[in-house]
Amino acid sequence: MGCTCSPMETGLSLAFCLAQTELKRVCAGWIANKHKAKNSVRSNISLVLRMPALKLLLALLLICFEATAKDLQECEDLGLGSHICREIESLQQLNGYVQDDWRSVKVVNEHTGIEGDDPRALPALCLSRLLHLDLSESGGLTLGERGLRDLRQLERLNLTRCQLEELKEEHFPKNSSLRNLDVSFNDIRLITGKLMNRLPNLVYANFSNNLIAEVEPNAFRGLKELQFLDLTTNEQVNVTLGENANLRYLSIGNNNVRDFLWRRLRGLPNLEELHLDSNWLENLDMGLFLALPRLRLLNVSNNNLCEIKGSLFTGPSGRAPLVLLDYSSNNVRVLEDSVFAKLGNLRTLNLWLNQISKTHPRAFQGLSALESLQLQGNKISALPDEVFSNLTALQRLDLSRNSIRQLGARVFGGSLLGRLTHLDLSRNSIVELHPLSLSALPHLRELRLSGNKLTALDVRMFAPLRRLQVLAIGENRLEQIEEDMLETFEHLSRLDINNNRLSFLPPLQTAQYLLRLRHISIEGNPWQCLCLDEITAWLDKRQVSYARPSSAYYSGRKPLCVVTPVEQCLRDLKAVRAHGVIESYEQI
């Protein structure tokens, strides 16, 4: 009979045995092929129920309970209605797992993708209760005829990396509840108006990293709630968004846009943030704020723009609302007088990695609210007097990686710039700093001068900098640091003097300066070994960090000091030169 149990003498026992055998077969199939399990049970349950009953239902529960428990382990409860389900092959299969109180599901597949459902299948009623669905790790998604139409209450949908080539209107229910849609990193080529009309409640839409070359005109017009639209890294040549009265954020960065006119964006009156970076723009026409009167952030970095025109910022009377302008990584060569004069609200101006070689004296006129100015990586060789004098709100100024040779007495003007706390002049060719060049910066906390050609420092330059906390003067040509200069560093916590030509420092054992020092870099100097011993003993006593294990100097690959024929630390520069200390070190 093929019964694995021992039949009892009664007909009822034989029926029970047959039922048990059949149920085991059914449940084994359930375990082996879970997504077909329900159909298997339905097709065999009628046979089982023809057998004498009594304890039959109990047998069903006992035998299949273990298989059912294992099956439910495919979905893990994360609490608060959130679950992770693994190795799901179809939305219909997922529907079989979802319970009434589930609100959020993430599918994680390692060995399969999600295939389209049979159009003859019953509606996925359980899925219709979900609010959040994440298929970004599903291994791919094929949308069948039903698509996602059963998910009527869904508010957040993540289809990132699902290998989608298109989205059709029939994939979504009419008047979908979706508010957040992420379909980034797919192969979508077209956005149609019919598709977007199915999503009238959308607030956030991420179409980045696709192959979108066309957006149908006014595709987003009916989306009254849409605020965020990301089209970064696609194949758009022209911007053809049309109208959307509520859009706040728009990114078309890393596309193929070459010719751009602001009037194309007049249908976006409330736009506040626009990213056009990493395109092929060569010119920007005038009248930015006539088209976008509320724009607060404009990013046109990494294009082929050769100039900044004052007419670009033409708009209604009064100060323009822009607070951040990113013009970095372009080919701008000259900053004309008053080019930013209409940007009275601007707080951040990024001009790094251009070709700027000339800055007119009044180039930054009108930037009374500017807090951060980034000019690093240009070709600036000289700075005119008072070029920064009107930047009374400036906090950070980066002039590193230019070709500046000297800093005059009046670059920052005669009045105080009381808010400037960070100044970076590293990686230039500075030979001379005027003693009064930093006198207008009494609140400076961080000064970086590394990688220049300085041979001496004037104490008058540092005397006003009583609040200085970080000083980086490594990789210069300094042979001596005077004691009276060290006495000005009341608040210094970090000092970089590495890779200079220093062979000694003023006596430190009884020093009443550098009391707050916590880190110092000293390697790469031709220290006299006796002087270095004194320095490191003082640093160890004060628990100041100085040795970097990864440095070639502290791993024995490069020398730390020079042994001299004298028995004491020489602190006379003439005597040091007479003994050839620096030359001896450089020859090692």
Query: How does pLDDT run across 208-230, given as a tens digit for each residue?
Result: 999 999 999 899 999 999 999 99
- How far apart CA 524 and CA 238 sit, in angstroms, is 55
Q: Write the DSSP assignment of 543-587 as a string of letters.
A: T-B---TTSTTTTTSS--EE--SSSS----HHHHHHTTHHHHHHH
Alpha-carbon dihedral 65, 67, 68, 69, rounded to 10 degrees: 80
Residue 296 is which amino acid?
R
Pair 214, 238: CB distance under 8 Å: no
Structure tokens at 423: 């100044």
Structure tokens at 445: 């906390």
Helix-strand-coil percent breakdown of the chain, rounded to 5? Answer: 20, 15, 65
pLDDT per position in the chain (588 positions), as tens? 333 333 333 334 444 444 444 544 544 444 344 444 434 443 444 444 444 443 444 444 443 333 343 344 489 999 999 999 999 999 999 999 999 999 999 999 999 999 977 666 667 788 999 999 999 999 999 998 889 999 999 999 999 999 999 999 999 999 999 999 999 999 999 999 999 999 999 999 999 999 999 999 899 999 999 999 999 999 999 887 889 999 999 999 999 999 888 888 889 999 999 999 999 999 998 888 999 999 999 999 999 999 999 999 988 877 889 999 999 999 999 999 999 999 999 999 999 999 999 999 999 999 999 999 999 999 999 999 999 999 999 999 999 999 999 999 999 988 899 999 999 999 999 999 999 999 999 999 999 999 999 999 999 999 999 999 999 999 999 999 999 999 999 999 999 999 999 999 999 988 889 999 999 999 999 999 999 999 999 999 999 999 988 889 998 899 999 999 999 999 999 999 998 998 888 887
Query: Any idea which residue has 């108006």 for tokens?
Result: 193
Pair 167, 190: CB distance under 8 Å: no
The upper half-sphere exposure of residue 285, i.e. CA atoms within 13 Å in the direction of its Cβ, equals 11
Overall size of the chain counted in residues: 588
The upper half-sphere exposure of residue 364, i.e. CA atoms within 13 Å in the direction of its Cβ, equals 32
Residue 303 is which amino acid?
N
pLDDT in tens, 475-490: 999 999 999 999 999 9
Look up the pTM and report it.
0.85
Query: Any idea which residue has 């728009």 for tokens?
Result: 250
Q: CA angle, corner 314, sides to 312 and 315, nearest 5?
A: 140
- How far apart CA 178 and CA 527 sit, in angstroms, is 68
